[in-house]
Chain A
Amino acid sequence: MPVSILRRTCILAIAVLLLAGGATLIGQRGGGGARGARTSVNRSFGGASASRSFSGASASRSTSGVSADRNFNSANVNRNFNSANVNRNVNSANVNRNFNNVNVNRNVNNVNVDRDIDVNGHYGGWGGGCCYHPAATAAAVTAAAATTAAVVGSVVHTLPPACSEVNVNGVPYQQCGSTWYQPQFAGTTVNYTVVNPPQ
């Protein structure tokens, strides 16, 4: 196999895998707690909030590779995407576009800080949020997941622009082009799961 084709195939595979990872990632963080201060001293800090906090916390930050999810979030993914080889190639696969344009920002903030801010789907995530910050570029992967890879079952916090609500059997779906989203509460946070078009 010629080198160029091999490389392109690999890059595509990488992109797809990262996208898949990004999509699931966000769902795991749904509970509105992410990594933050506990709000109760009587809860044993077990159960949901504990695992949430611990998974994102110290365990993996300092030790390389202990928690894939941590690394995924921070250093490595980004580094890979920013480093010369990958980036060049990913561009052709339509992935990079999402990393470099506005979508990144929007979704990045959703993941890290903005993630459970109420956002009205109709304005597509703009204007409804607060708290933009530069430290969050790491999770840019989810941006691509939100806009390009509408994999059924993936979860986003912000809808793409131009959606309309369609009520089917009492469920207020959001139809965004050919992609359908079902809103739900993950904890107190609203997020959207990509679903098959309702019958």
Chain B
Amino acid sequence: MSISPRATRFVSPIAAALLLISCGRASRTQQKAAPTENPPAAEGTTDSAAPTTGTVETVTPAPQEAGGAPERDANAIKALDHMSAYLRTLKSFQIRSETTRDEVLDNGQAVTFAGVTDMLVQRPNHLRAEVTNDKQNRTYFYDGKSFSLWGQRVNYYATIPAPPTLRALVDVLDEKYNVEMPLADLFYWGERRSADDLESAVDVGPSQIGGVSCEHYAFRQKGADWQLWIQQGDFPLPRKLVITTTSDEAMPRFSSVMTWNLAPSFDASAFTFVPPKDARRIAFVVNGPSEVAQ
């Protein structure tokens, strides 16, 4: 996000509030015909304009160590690594994810939106994903050369040149275009993260997810508590992921239950977007100084 639009956004309401105050004051003083200049810090302003004395609340809650030293179960971390290594061996796979995601209303209440993601991946550089939720229907296409996003109902699409790997694409989309790759963690696990930033790791115990025997783990890192259900046996796949955003006091949750197909059949053309005749091409808003990508 560039500075200037933020600044405008900040300035205008402040200015409006100040104006309001001064206007009110002006008319009041005129009525009273008693020009007291510089009245003591205008009453009733503290909650509208002035970022005065209020202590800035830290966004991140203090590390919660009330329950004693954080536990880092070596087996839980090992299970995570094991799963990550296994994911990296998959050449192609198809996932159906039943997803819920909380959004927080202005009153602090979290409401949950549901959706389904269908994703076909051929490593290292092909992907097709269809995301359908309460709000949108979007299809993602990546063929190693370009990336397209298509909104079926609105029938708009955007196409951009893409980096040569999925992993790089996930970064670019997020950082430059504000586009979240569905189930982005699948492309990161085992590639970047070390367990170092885990404040806690616990093996919760066995659990059934969709009739599949899993082991349930709980992890804590800065800003997020998350839980992972990993399939037991020779195919240590993530079957369920729940992320609680602890940096937000409303504790919004994201949840994904995944069904895997490790032998998908597909046609290479599945990854290339061919715009329907009546689809119209538009641009992405790009983060940073320039507003719109052409």
Contacts and interface: CB of A to CB of B under 8 A. Distances in A.
The interface residues of chain B, by DSSP majority, are classed as: mixed
Contacts of A32: 136, 178, 180
A28 B9 contact: yes
B270 to A, nearest CB: 20
B269 interface: no
Interface in A26-55: 27-28, 30-43, 45, 47-49, 51, 53-54
Contacts, number: 284
Contacts of A135: 105-107, 109
Interface residues of A, number: 89
A11 B282 contact: no
A95 B87 CA distance: 56
B292 to A, nearest CB: 6
Among B103, B175, B244: residue with most chain A CB under 10 A? B103
Contacts of A40: 180, 184-185, 188, 243
A198 to B, nearest CB: 14
Contact of A7 (B23, B136, B224): B23
B5 A38 contact: no
A50 B73 CA distance: 28
A73 B135 CA distance: 22
Interface stretch (B118-126, B148-156, B200-208, B258-266): B148-156
Contact of A113 (B13, B56, B105, B174): B105
B277 interface: no
Interface string B252-284: 111000000000000000000000000011111
B188 A42 contact: yes
Contact of A48 (B178, B245, B252): B178
Contact of B55 (A14, A27, A63): A63
Interface string A155-184: 000000000010100111000000000111
7 contacts: A28-B1, A61-B249, A63-B56, A118-B151, A187-B178, A188-B131, A188-B151
